[in-house]
Amino acid sequence: MKTGPCARWLARVFGPMEPNFKADEFSQLTPSERVVWCRRMAAEAERLADAASPRVRTAYVELAKQWTALADEIERETSRTV
């Protein structure tokens, strides 16, 4: 899998991130910050997929899809409550 334009943009704008999920910190973020964080995690998973073996690549690609889906759902929820 090639890293998508969104992943490349996030990496360029925000730089490398520590892919470390801490629920207590995540819950303190605003919805828009959560969306950015999820997209950055998806970008990191895509980056790791690029360098992984075929077997592990599939798991990283799936993880990136899940982070993207979460970001999309947070955006939808936020737009409904505004």
Return the higher-pLDDT residue of 60 and 20.
Answer: 60
Return left, alpha or beta for 67; rule: phi > 0 is left, psi -120 to 50 is alpha, else beta. Answer: alpha
With bands split at pLDDT 50, 70 and 90, how would you rate the model's confidence at 5?
low
Q: Return the percentage of the chain with pLDDT > 70, whole number.
A: 76
Note the pLDDT tens digit of each residue in 47-75. Answer: 999 999 999 999 999 999 999 999 999 99
C-alpha torsion angle, residues 67, 22, 78, 12 (rounded to 10): -60
Say how many Å lie between the first and final Cα of the chain, rounded: 36
pTM above 0.75, yes or no: no
Q: CA distances (Å), 13 to each of 7, 9, 17, 53, 81, in order?
A: 10, 6, 11, 28, 28
> Which pLDDT does position 31 carry in this prediction?
94
